[in-house]
Structure 1
């Protein structure tokens, strides 16, 4: 079950061969949708994606919204102090 607020809510579910004669349900690849931002902040050394998500969305698990707004930002990246971070609206 995928949470309704997940980035994978609308991603198709596929059936794949598990290599042992059975099948598994897997998610198809998700394309990053074009996401506009409404705010640009400058990251500090205390900022993390989950903290920004909590600050702007009141939900730290929505960090992926920030990643979708910046095509060069990976969820596993550490924010670089002094570098702008785009904050998209919460949908």
Structure 2
């Protein structure tokens, strides 16, 4: 059923009951393998998992080894900093007596904003970039009476990911 390169090839089949009450064949849970080795790769803006797998394993379909070695990321897109949900730090200064609470409320009420936190000199916004872009977030901050500095994403670009050794 699964090809020789599939991560599910060696996972045992089990019988489960579906929503209609029928017994159907399925694959059992596949626990993450233990990863050995310490080779890392610095994520660049043009990286794709299939290209990394082709480079390091000679097989683009072996990208899942890289995913397994980096379990702190929920999706392959997150691993390369391309996930729709992005967290950006916006340095802000108040223009006059603009209340920080009003800024947090305005951001929280914006469609596409998932989370907002603030410290003394910045606001950290997690938002869905399919709904918003950085310019739209800056507009909300400025309309709340704040001046915005240069935003900085807290994504994976420029950070290290683990590349496990090839599995035979």
TM-score normalised by structure 2 residue count: 0.49
**Which structure: larger Rg?**
2
Deviations 1:3-33 (A, max 9, x none): 2221112211111223445332111111101
Segment drifting more, 80-89 vs 1-10: 1-10
Cα separation, 2, equivalents of 1:84 and 1:19 = 42
CA distance in 2, matches of 1:21, 1:69: 37
5+ long unaligned stretches in structure 2: 81-155
> Runs of 5+ in structure 1 lacking a partner?
none
Tell me the residue number matched to 1:75.
76
Count of aligned residue pairs for this structure pair: 91
Change (3 A) 1:59 1:18: same
1:11 paired residue number: 11
Q: Does 1:54 align with 2:78?
A: no
Taking only aligned residues, the RMSD between alpha carbons, in angstroms, comes to 1.7
Q: TM-score, normalised by structure 1?
A: 0.84
Does the 8 A contact of 1:37 with 1:69 survive in 2?
A: no
More strand by share: 2
